[in-house]
Amino acid sequence: MRIPATDRAIPPCPHFGACGGCQLQDLTYAAQLALKAAQLQALLEPTNLTLPQLQLHPSPPLAYRNRIRLTLAEVDGQLRAGYLRATQDTPETTTLSILPITQCPIAAPILWRTAEAFLALINESPTPWLRNSQQILDQLELFTNANESALQLTLYLRTQSKTAPTKLTTAFTALCETLRTQILELAGAGIALLPLASPDRSRRTETARPGPTWGAPGLNYTVADTTYWVPRTAFFQINRYLIPELLTLITANQKGQLAWDLYAGVGLFSKALAATFSQVTAVEIAEPAFTALASTKLPNLQAIKSTTLDFLRAAVLQRDRPNLIVLDPPRSGAGPEICALLARVAAPTLIYVSCSPQHLAADLIPLTASGYTVAQLHLFDLFPQTTHVETVAILTR
């Protein structure tokens, strides 16, 4: 696709191109939005559905991320942080290597400031952190709330041990206490243990074991007038600027007897819906998100630990039918069986929040064939500078 010169921009990050994570930095923000809208419409066009006009929700293009996860590696005797990049050695083989970075303009400022302070402390006193074949520093995850008043840190170690040794626990506590003198917002931290060797180093396939902790296990995240308890490693939407707008779209003018929030996470949508529905059922399987969801203790919010598929298989046999269903599935989408079950439930309003336009397009076909109409279609630019698109489809029948 030919890009007009007027749509070109100077990338704000010195690592553009080499990093590969923010592929659209060389475009103006207006051009980025137009490109994403065109790509979304191109993916939906083959469905032959009658769709409403696409509504765009732009974001401040930089400093929007409330969470980053950096790869750690020792480079020239110093611990560095960066992102993994893939190098195609042959048509059949790919090598992963770390690209050390000096800044990350899409991250909330406190995140990179904390990363720099963390690296400086490790490099000033490397024992027992570096050159240790038994516990290898692998990743650093940082999470802050919208106004950057509180911060959580997770340090990922690769080890064969089932638990961290006492010396490491003591060193971690000392590290956190010292870091807290520089980053006053640091509320809590934890070590997560990963297998010593992994061919792909993928967070989607590796399950970490909990290790030593320091401070609070999570932080309070306020969106509009609602405050959520978000445990350290639980999923939460990452664009601190657009979360309020997303929440308003999903929950405003929605009311009734019963709402279902599927793939509920810590309850971003369900906790707000509880203000206008007599009963809200929130379904989540992942820990620690479910524990946070269950701790809301709202009398009309029922938290169910289950996969969405298992919940719907049982729910279609019951008499209760919701006025509203909200679903926010992972990148793999809802899938044919869940769509078929949703069609059987036949809630009057179905709101589908999607982080994968390809799977949204596939799921809309059976849903509309069952009697739903796409009443509204929204593009939320939760990931400026990148090619990722978040879509909200509001379906009615």
Residues noted as catalytic: 355
Question: What angle in degrees, to the nearest 10, is found between the helix axes of 109-124 and 166-182?
Answer: 130
Cα angle 313-230-234, degrees, rounded to a multiple of 5: 55
- Alpha carbon 80 to chain centroid, angstroms: 24
Name residue 231's beta-bridge partners: 218
- Alpha carbon 254 to chain centroid, angstroms: 25
Q: Give the whole-angstrom CA distance, residue 352 versus residue 59.
A: 20
Identify the three-state secondary structure at position 234: coil
- Alpha carbon 296 to chain centroid, angstroms: 21
CB 381 within 8 A of CB 61: no
Strands 301-305 and 324-327: unpaired
Q: Where are the alpha helices (DSSP H) in the chain?
A: 29-44, 109-124, 166-182, 243-251, 268-273, 289-294, 308-315, 336-345, 357-369
Name residue 219's beta-bridge partners: 230
Left, alpha or beta for 297 (phi > 0: left; psi -120 to 50: alpha)?
Answer: left
Cα angle 63-104-145, degrees, rounded to a multiple of 5: 45
Q: Give the whole-angstrom CA distance, residue 142 versus residue 299.
A: 33
Question: What angle in degrees, to the nearest 10, is found between the helix axes of 336-345 and 357-369?
Answer: 40
CB 265 within 8 A of CB 288: no
